[in-house]
Chains A and B, each alone.
Chain A
Amino acid sequence: MSMNKCDLLDATYRPTIQCQVISSFRTGFTRMDHAKKTKSLHAPTAEQRIRTRLLSSICLLSLLLTLASASSAQDWVRTGSGLGVEKVRLAVPDFKPSGADLQTTGLLKTFDDTFWNDLDNSGVVELVSKSFYPLQVPGQPPDVTFGLWNSPPPNAAMLAFGNLGVAAGKLTVQGWLYDVKNTASPLVIGKQYSDVPTDDAARLIAHKFADEIIFRLGGGIPGIAETKIYFVSDRSGHKEIWMMDYDGSNQRPVSHQGSISLSPRISPDNSRVAFSSLTKSGWEILMYSVELNRLVSFPHFGGTNLSPSWAPDGTRLAFSSSRGGHSEIYVCDSSGANLHAMTTGRGPDVSPTWNAKTGSQIAYVSGSTGLPQVYTMGADGTNQQRMTDQGYAVSPNWSPNGQFLALAWTRKYGPGEPGSSDIYLMDIASKQWVQLTHDGGRNDFPWWAPDGRHIVFQSSRSGKEEIWMMLADGTKLHQLTFTGRNSQPNWSSK
């Protein structure tokens, strides 16, 4: 918890980040408490612990609130978001067509759908239902009648509006964000975008403008609308690496190995995808260049090489290798040089993940004491600590702020225990945890979005393995893939 205080002191935007995750956490506890009352999923000790934590996190929250409003009043007062109290009410009327080009209608629909979806999924605003909007919606600043927006029924604090048109073979979008409660100087953002008149371009512009708004209203954390998700799909007949936009659109293949390819991990600079693939000489780490659209050389180490993971600065990779006999965690340079074993012992060690903020620690899975458990250690292999106390704990992923692990955990495991694998968050300093998914198939491979607000994961809740996304408090759950079986999602860091 001392980490929070440090963060609070060191930057203006940080408090918001901390508070947002904390508030997500708090919501999570509340949900869990509720779930337990109705279904009594856990032992009383766990319940007590959660109650205590719920109280302490509320106390902490109030403390943070006080500190935060003192240190960065502007952010908090202006947006009111991230407090877990009330999200800013944002009205987003459909953009108006400008010009009469035949392409406009289709592109406008793509733009409006994408834009709405981005803002709705962002977790930082509350979108005002379109049924409350006045009949006349603005396409330009002079069209805005403040009284129609800033009082009920819409009662919006913010208004995002604009226009889209095609002229001379060029798509142009103008967008504004207005603080409609501040009629004297309402302009928060004004932007103009131009691109080729295609659906993809309309979608990209919507993502860019949504990210501008989310950045401004979400306490200075960049939006994720332009990020990508890499994953494994068997839809071609083999398990291959695929990628898609963060909202599930534009799904396309990356690898064409024709064997079994798993565990894709995009480098922090978005230039390379490391993954594990069954080659003629066994499981090896392969390196795919996104820029060159082909595999680039990376050494074969021998043994079974699995689950690569990039250090946050992109200079090193951690992965699991059995080249020395047993599966251990190894670290090497991004070129494959300077290979060192970080763990020893008999149990299988896999699935390393770096502290995404500092790069100085690695969390991983070890079966050295029986069922797999999550451990942390220094990036040099020192100070190995067990984090999970029971059950079957796998697939850790370190949150962007360095404070939490997301993991897949079957807390009760073994004969006669029908426990299911669910996604949990664990606070690393205290080892306190909260359950994010409930009663929905096998859930595995959680991965944080770079904004620290979203988590993508795989779940069999729909009947087969598919990729789902949610906010880090377990809400706003929705499915991203539908074709074939899809697993092991990996969110690009920008």
Chain B
Amino acid sequence: MKRQLFKSVATAALLSAILMLGACHKKAAPPPPPPPPPPAGPTASISVSPDTIPSGQSATLTWQTSNATDVSIDGIGAVQASGTQQVSPTDSTTYHLTAKGSGGTQEATTRLTVTPPPVTQAATPSPSEEDLFGQNVKDVYFAYDKSDIPSDQQAVIQADAQFLSQHSDINITVEGHCDSRGSTEYNLALGDQRASSVKSALVADGVSANRIKTISYGKEKPFCMEENEACWQQNRRGHFVYQK
């Protein structure tokens, strides 16, 4: 085996050497006649106006080429040598123009920036109170058949109260919810007690009572529809709703 391997490596090396020698030999031949002067190369330019648009609006793409036989723009396809076109992409786009002629290929690019819709644009720099409310105010969860706030939820309600104290122009509704077990009427009364508990806790932490409305949904509007403890726990809650 070893011997055979050695043999084939040696053969390959010998062949390469012969080839290389041959190539060197060719280069050593007399130089060819100088090539004819190349034909004039194509020119190309592309621009977009305006170069920034809000989403949903359009911009004008303008391009010019010369000495080109084959002009195309990526994403648009083959186009006339020169021209304009309305474009309204949903995302920022780079337009790549390729002009091919006998004298070669010329490329040009331009970029159109698309900004998100103006509403969001306005919101982005400073989130609205409703957004902050959604990010900061967390629901409170209850134990089975109980309407007092469990000890592990005290921190949640304190954080909620702190946020609401800092944003005193937000009014809220506290919804009391119950899991699907038990009876409709009793659950509505229980949900009412849960909503009241949450309100009392917020008031105790300094939130003005007249900013807080309460409503019970009992088991009428469950967050989770399955019949297991994980789902029931999701449904035993005091849910906060932002009010203008």
Contacts and interface: CB of A to CB of B under 8 A. Distances in A.
* A and B associate in one complex: yes
B192 A395 contact: no
Contacts of B184: 262-263, 444-445, 487-488
Interface string B160-198: 000000000000000000000011111011101100100
B187 to A, nearest CB: 9
Give chain B's interface residue range (CB within 8 Å of chain A). Answer: 10 to 19
B215 A325 contact: no
17 contacts: A263-B185, A320-B189, A322-B192, A327-B192, A348-B189, A348-B190, A349-B189, A350-B188, A351-B186, A365-B183, A365-B185, A367-B190, A372-B182, A392-B182, A395-B183, A395-B185, A408-B183
Contacts of B145: 367, 370-372
A326 interface: yes
B188 A306 contact: yes
Please report whether the interface of chain A is mostly helix, strand, loop or mixed according to DSSP.
strand
A365 B188 CA distance: 13
A282 interface: yes
A372 B186 contact: yes
Please report whether the interface of chain B is mostly helix, strand, loop or mixed according to DSSP.
helix
B220 interface: yes
Contacts of B183: 351, 365, 372, 394-395, 408, 421, 444-445
Contacts of A394: 182-183, 185-186
Interface in A408-429: 408, 421
Given A278-B215, A322-B193, A350-B189, 11 more contacts: A263-B185, A283-B215, A304-B188, A306-B189, A326-B196, A349-B189, A365-B183, A370-B145, A394-B183, A394-B185, A445-B183
A307 interface: yes
B216 interface: yes
Interface string A341-352: 000000011110
A370 B147 CA distance: 10
Interface of A: 239, 260, 262-263, 276, 278, 282-283, 303-304, 306-307, 320, 322, 325-327, 348-351, 365, 367, 370-372, 392, 394-395, 408, 421, 444-445, 487-488
A36 B60 CA distance: 85
B16 to A, nearest CB: 82
A307 B196 contact: no
B180 to A, nearest CB: 10
Contacts of B147: 348
Interface in B114-165: 145, 147
B104 to A, nearest CB: 70
Contacts of B185: 262-263, 306-307, 320, 350-351, 365, 394-395
Contacts of A445: 183-184
A266 to B, nearest CB: 17
A365 B186 contact: yes
A348 B196 contact: no
A349 B186 CA distance: 8
Given A322-B192, A350-B188, A370-B145, A283 B182 contact: no
